[in-house]
Structure 1
Amino acid sequence: MAFRGLTRGLFQLVTHRRLYSSISTQVFARKPIVTNQRFLPYRSFSSVQTNEDAYQDLNRFLDKEIQLEKSAQKHPSTLPTIQGFQVQSNGPEVTLTRQSGNDKVTVKFNVTNTVNAMDSDQDAGLDAAGQQKFGDETATQPSSQLKSRPTFNVDISRGGQTLSFLCSYLPQDYPHAPELGQVGENEHQRGGRSDQEDQLEDFQIDEFAIHEGEWTEKVYSADCAVIDGELYDKLLNILEEHGIGEEFANQLIDYSTAYEHRQYIGLLEKLQKFTKK
């Protein structure tokens, strides 16, 4: 329960707030991709280049890129487990279910746009161009260096009603408890951080609501940044008793990271098939 002593004041220190106030299927909505790329006023192309040349060039690159991504998979054959939950997936959408006494617990998330590139930049040995050598060509850094940290919905259903939570992971720069940052003499260190700290994750409740039947836009949801701190802690306890705690948070990231990597490799393979038509 390392992070469970959150109060209203500490909760308001978290700067990564959600930009929406709905608690249901928005987690599955496609978000715009924002980059820091600097755009030039024009792009110059070779006058002799044809579409066929571009497809062939892309296909040759994908041969090596797909091989690189597959070799970087940490779970190439079997996905990590999430203890106590049954897992179903449909494309990028994942649904977890379990029975907790008389309550049915459902967790939903989508792995699209959930990878934070900042996680890998600190640990990966990239050159100035942000690339690594692969044979005589260059390839992007393997996505196994990244973590998928999705926003997720939790529904607890009982007696015809559903208590819904919108949850997100705490920012990577959130101040950890001092004892968690200590490294024993025999602990393996990477870049000054212990393996234990690398794997430590926790989440926050962004919003909660109660509704009957399916969630609709007419359901009121409360922003947890402005509720009483004691109430917030008791809501965390409800989730903990239903199997949604720190261990779950780590297992979900392990699963989501491996599953997102599979989805990315699948996308590259579809792109390669497209170039060969």
Structure 2
Amino acid sequence: MAAPRHFSSTAKMMSVTPELQQALNREIEAEQQLSKDNLQGSVAPTFPGFAVTTKEAEVRLTKKNGNEDILVVFNVNHSVDMDEGFDDEPSQAVAPVPVALPPFTVEITKGDQRLCFHLELVPVDDQPEEYDFRVEEFYVAPSAKNGNEDVPSEVYASSGKYIDPDLHDLLFVRYLEERGLDARFCKTLVAYATHYEHSQYVGLLDKIKKFISM
């Protein structure tokens, strides 16, 4: 019969917490320096004409346009593709900041109806740091009531892929541009989302550091 294994009592008493705290401190400092070098530190980009509110990972932009209430909502969770473009320049002296491209929704409310668009951000070919949007889905739904923004399941929604080209230009481009949702808006959204996602990541590291220290 094999003899039982004996474990060191010293090993049992060792905790990973001090080493983890040090690693978290290093990562937080490195990310804060990255923000300072590449993202203007704690100063987030602004959206001209829109009021901005945030709650954890969600960002909401609101503004009035005549008799319309315009709402833009996006969430920075999983908005960064860490594999995108990171192998192109491995010898960079300064680490690149991963760009956040969150999907977003636009709701234009008039009276008891709202015109809704679900959109994806896409880079503009051969124009670095320029972005456009692609409409994935659009529909008309009852306006939100008493804070309930859910869309009834019976509301018909159409894909943005198969719309008539003329209607695409009028509804998806010019109609939204008239309401401030243009190429400049897309560029600002990407810059803001990138800055905000990074701040949320640093905040998460800080929360973990505080949690393991309790």
One-letter code of the match for 2:117? F
Aligned residues: 197
One-letter code of the match for 1:275? I
Distance 1:126 1:62, change over 3 A: farther
Aligned partners of 2:111 and 2:143 also within 8 Å: no
Unaligned regions of 5+ residues in structure 2, if any?
A: 1-6, 145-150
- Using the TM superposition, give the Cα deviation of residue 115 of structure 1 relative to its aligned residue in structure 2, in angstroms: 0.6
Residue equivalent to 2:72: 107
TM-score by length of 2: 0.83
Matches of 1:274 and 1:110 in 2, distance apart?
24
Residue equivalent to 1:77: 42
Tell me, yes or no, if structure 1 residue 246 matches structure 2 residue 183: yes
Unaligned regions of 5+ residues in structure 1, if any?
A: 1-45, 133-140, 182-196
SS in 2 for 1:145: coil
Matches of 2:130 and 2:47 in 1, distance apart?
16
Higher relative contact order (CA 8 A, sep 6+): 1
Residue equivalent to 2:203: 266
TM-score by length of 1: 0.65
Paired residues for 1:150-189 under 5 Å: 150-170=102-122, 172=123, 176=125, 181=126
Question: In percent, how many aligned pairs have the same letter?
Answer: 31
Cα displacement string for residues 201-256 of structure 1 (whole angstroms, at most 9, x for unaligned residues) = 11111110101123222211101112222222221211111111110000001001
Aligned partners of 1:120 and 1:145 also within 8 Å: no
- Using the TM superposition, give the Cα deviation of residue 83 of structure 1 relative to its aligned residue in structure 2, in angstroms: 1.6
Distance 1:207 1:248, change over 3 A: same
Aligned partners of 1:56 and 1:275 also within 8 Å: no
Aligned partners of 1:82 and 1:248 also within 8 Å: yes
Counterpart selection for 2:139 from 198, 209, 212: 209
Distance 1:49 1:216, change over 3 A: farther
Structure with bigger gyration radius: 2
Cα displacement string for residues 1-43 of structure 1 (whole angstroms, at most 9, x for unaligned residues) = xxxxxxxxxxxxxxxxxxxxxxxxxxxxxxxxxxxxxxxxxxx
